[in-house]
Amino acid sequence: MGMCNVVSSPIVPGCKLSKDENGKQVDATKYKQIVGCLMYLLASRPDLAFSVCLIARYMDKPTDMHLTAAKRILRYLKGTMSLGILYKRGSELLLQGWTDSDYAGDIDDRRSTSGYVFKLGSSAISWSSKKQPIVTLSTTEAEFVAAASCACQAVWLKKILHQLRKDQNKSTVIFCDNSSSIKVSKNPIMHGRMKHIDVRYYFLRDLVKDGTLELKHCSTSDQIADAMTKPLKL
């Protein structure tokens, strides 16, 4: 891959991968080694989160389709080796989060992908792209489940900042581009269309009620976590 041509994005925009049952299988050990190496880079490269987590779903029986997607990430890395995260000295240490979800993006089991990004001041400190453990029936449900996962991380980050004596005295704002899921988080009555969602996701309401978190709406164009849930042109 040292002489490969570079590309502008880690995955083709709009690309959909599947198990590819009839595809030509490749060396699973080699494929796992590539994915494993890319996993290490996720600690400092949030732009790789979605693409790497996507190809990691097919380590059991990888095919040419999956290996081609993995090699594209390597081609993207070759052209972006100078990228990194800059933590500026003296910036205000305000914790903010962004949460997002696609809807039924996995064409094999129709599960959605949750994603979040947290910034402390002007730079990202935590991010995630992960397939949801349940099948949701609407975009509102998918966004609500994603917001609940984001809330867990927010609580954990606030506790770490407390130990570092950098307390977040105000409610931590989490931005979401789905107004319906924000309304669900503030509604004290479990709506009939949402009561089938696992109870553990409803603790988000308690966090909003006691002022630990505050969900705010943002436009899709300002949604930082969008790149964690779907292939975009970077």
| pLDDT of 192 | 63
Answer yes or no: do 11 and 115 share one domain.
no
Is residue 101 in a domain? yes
Q: Give 143-154 pLDDT, tens digit per residue.
A: 999 999 999 999
Residue ending a domain, among 59, 84, 109, is 84
Task: Tell me the range of 107-121, 176-190, 200-214 where mean pLDDT is highest.
Answer: 107-121
Flag the least confident range among 82-86, 141-145, 176-180, 190-194.
190-194
pLDDT band, residue 189 (cuts 50/70/90) = low
Q: Give 83-97 pLDDT, tens digit per residue.
A: 999 998 887 899 999
Answer yes or no: do 115 and 52 share one domain.
no
Residue ending a domain, among 38, 59, 84, is 84
List the domain range (segments joined by +) for residue 122. 95-228
Is residue 150 in a domain? yes
Answer yes or no: do 223 and 165 share one domain.
yes
Of residues 157 and 2, which shows the higher confidence score?
A: 157
Answer yes or no: do 62 and 104 share one domain.
no
Is residue 90 in a domain? no
Q: Give 8-64 pLDDT, tens digit per residue.
A: 999 998 888 999 999 999 999 999 999 999 999 999 999 999 999 999 999 999 999
Interval 172-178 mean pLDDT: 97
Is residue 233 in a domain? no
Answer yes or no: do 52 and 106 share one domain.
no
Answer yes or no: do 66 and 107 share one domain.
no
Interval 179-206 mean pLDDT: 77
Answer yes or no: do 184 and 128 share one domain.
yes
Is residue 73 in a domain? yes
| pLDDT of 90 | 81
Residue ending a domain, among 43, 64, 84, is 84
Answer yes or no: do 120 and 172 share one domain.
yes
Instruction: State the average pLDDT for the chain.
Output: 92
Q: 157, 126 in Cβ contact below 8 A?
A: yes
Q: 177, 223 in Cβ contact below 8 A?
A: yes
The residue assigned the tokens 């796992």 is 32
pLDDT at 69 over 90: yes
Answer yes or no: do 102 and 210 share one domain.
yes
Neighbours of 200 (CB within 10 A): 10
pLDDT band, residue 108 (cuts 50/70/90) = very high
Answer yes or no: do 138 and 214 share one domain.
yes
Is residue 200 in a domain? yes
The number of folded domains in the chain is 2
Answer yes or no: do 222 and 106 share one domain.
yes
CATH number at residue 186: 3.30.420.10
Q: How far, in Å, are 17, 22, 23, 131, 222 from residue 63 at the CA level?
A: 11, 9, 6, 21, 36
pLDDT at 193 over 70: no
pLDDT at 190 over 60: no
Answer yes or no: do 121 and 44 share one domain.
no
Is residue 89 in a domain? no
